[in-house]
Chains A and B, each alone.
Chain A
Amino acid sequence: MESLFLQYPWLDELLMGFIGLSWKNIVMWGISAVLIYLAVKKDYEPALLLPIGFGALLANIPHSSAISQVVGEEGFLWVLYKAGISNELFPVLIFIAIGAMCDFTPLIRRPSVMLFAAAAQFGIFATAVFATMLGFSFEQAASIGIIGAADGPTTIYVASRFAQDLLGPLSVAAYSYMSLVPVIQPPVIKAITTKAERRIKMGYENEEPVSKTTLFLFPVMVVIISGIVAPISVALIGSLMFGNLLRVCGVVDNLSNCAQNELANLVTLLLGITIGGTMSAESFLTSQVAMIMLLGAIAFVFDTAGGVLFAKILNLFSKKKINPMIGACGISAFPMSGRVIAKMALKEDPSNFIIQHAIGVNVAGQVASVVAGGLVLALIPALAK
């Protein structure tokens, strides 16, 4: 074969794809196909899983020009990675879009729901402890724990800073489990609540309207408070709240619409395919990645349990009972988690409408997950010393 290549140098160029092919590439094609299948046939986070799946395919063709890192011949996925992931630009832009989509009215009307959102971040820290027990470094473990924020951009943001080698699997785990909220949360909730608890009705009395001034000042207030506590989180929380400010200020509807549509769509597309491009067989087919997938599921289970158990504890001391299921909406998977829990309540009792409470907690989850991400960002360098 060698002599054949020496005699016909063009043959090497022509056959390099076949020669470089290994079973690992073919397994990755399978994984890519599964992600595309989940996106197209099952409608699981299609805007992300489809580009990630296709990016993974591009990254696993031997000698793929799409991921080339050769100076002067850089592949477009590598260029996008350097331009938007390694410098954390894409997650921040996504946060502007998410902020523009968020309506914080239910949260402002009933701010105490933020407590459930705080409790539902328990999975982040519990999972990080488990990950260190499985042999991951502290930085990697903390980044794995962030899957429990149920917040893709925060996961990418933290991983791109502290666990770049695990960026692909962490992103896939975060987005896959976010899309699997309807599968993961109901059995966990049922396991730790009684039927009577799931049927608790919550009223809507004493709900005052929220003024435009309050809606306008809320994002500014959140940025100042969380920025002072964890200045490292300002990029994340600041972009989220900037997006929200565009929405509520009432004078830049065109920018708000742009953030909610064009910006969200464009960055999601680029983010997805770039993340897929990091999923080369060498970095993805490892025992570490299998463990990350397992730990991601654990994070979601602990988040759900943390929120629900916290609501049950509050019920011990409160005269006005809370339906503990709403504690599970404290994760950032918005609005899926809120809808899933509202549906569960209706299934238990067709006259029990808790959707507004559930969505309020779910919106609070958006803020709490970013605050948790900020704390992790601040604590990793401090504790890693």
Chain B
Amino acid sequence: MDATVMKALTMMLIALPTMFFVIAVFIAATKLLHKTFPGSQEDE
């Protein structure tokens, strides 16, 4: 396979799992934030 295609495939293989990992961290941190500072009806 062409080296350029390999680079693009490598980018996909690295970026997609990293993306999901970062998003998972975002989700955990957002949940923690939401739990630590619960909102009231007034905030809405």
Decide yes or no whether A137 CB sits under 8 A from chain B: yes
Are the CB atoms of A128 and B8 closer together than 8 Å?
yes
A372 touching B40, Cβ below 8 Å: no
Instruction: Indicate whether A118 reaches chain B with its CB closer than 8 angstroms.
Output: yes
Partner of B33 from the list A209, A214, A380 (CB cut-off 8 Å) is A214
Give the residues in chain A near B44, CB-CB below 8 Å. 209-210
Interface pair A117/B23, CB less than 8 Å apart:
yes
- CA A232 to CA B35, docked complex, whole Å: 31
The smallest C-beta distance from A309 to any residue of chain B, in angstroms, reads 14
B27 A108 Cβ-Cβ under 8 A: no
- Number of A-B residue pairs having CB atoms within 8 Å of each other in the complex: 121
What's the least CB distance linking A239 to chain B, in Å?
Answer: 18
Beta-carbon contact of A221 and B30 below 8 Å: yes
Bound complex: CA A88 to CA B11 (Å): 23
Contact A137 B39 (CB under 8 A): no
Q: How many A residues touch the partner, as a band?
A: 35 or more
Q: Give the docked Cα–Cα distance between A368 and B36 (Å).
A: 24
Q: How far is the CA of A302 from the CA of B5 in the complex (A)?
A: 18
Q: B8: which A residues are within 8 A, CB to CB?
A: 125, 128-129, 131-132, 138, 141-142, 145
Given contacts A115-B20, A118-B19, 12 further A-B contacts (CB under 8 A): A114-B30, A125-B12, A132-B8, A209-B40, A211-B38, A212-B39, A217-B37, A225-B25, A371-B19, A376-B11, A379-B14, A383-B11
| Chain B residues proximal to chain A, CB less than 8 Å | 2, 4-5, 7-12, 14-16, 18-20, 22-23, 25-27, 29-31, 33-34, 36-41, 43-44
